[in-house]
Amino acid sequence: MDFTVRQAGPGDIPHLCGLLSELFSLEADFTIDLEKQSRGLRLLVNDSSGSSIVLAAEKAGEVVGMCSVQKLISTSEGGPVGLLEDLVVRKDCRGKGIGRQLLAAAGDWCIQQNLLRLQLLKDKDNIAALKFYELNGWNNTNLVCMRRYPT
């Protein structure tokens, strides 16, 4: 399967929203809201500070996969790290190396940005994703994600 991984642009946002809908349909913690997802993607895609990147996997002119990386400062690492989010490949294109190439491109960006570590949050019920990350060299930690909305 011929595909390329490139930096996403504003014109990709509708296709990226479709991919996020596919991802969020698998994750109990998230609700599909195309307006919110589009707004978040616009912020990432139009970020001129260099603190994030959205990557798109394209096959025959069609976006079939994506992921994003955002910079954070880690006190434990003593410097900047990357947070990988929203790695998703369209269902009919899975198992063809696209996810692996998106991870590689995200890793390359982290190296170019001198980031010290790449981390992600995973859905504990998405067994296929858990296996995918383990097969691609990711390690579990003892950390647990929690969230609270500001009031």
| Nearest C-alpha neighbor of 54 from the set 101, 15, 106 | 106
Residue 46 lies in a domain: yes
Residue 21 lies in a domain: yes
Query: Domain range spanning residue 59?
Result: 4-120
CATH number for 12 = 3.40.630.30
Residue 31 lies in a domain: yes
Element (H, E) at 118: strand 118-120
Q: Which amino acid is at 92?
A: D
Residue 127 lies in a domain: no
Q: How many domains does the chain have?
A: 1
Please, are residues 89 and 102 in contact by the beta-carbon 8 Å criterion?
A: yes
Tens of pLDDT along the chain (151 residues) come to 699 999 999 999 999 999 999 988 877 778 888 999 999 999 999 999 999 999 999 999 999 999 999 999 999 999 999 999 999 999 999 999 999 999 999 999 999 999 999 999 988 888 889 999 999 999 999 998 898 999 9
Residue 149 lies in a domain: no
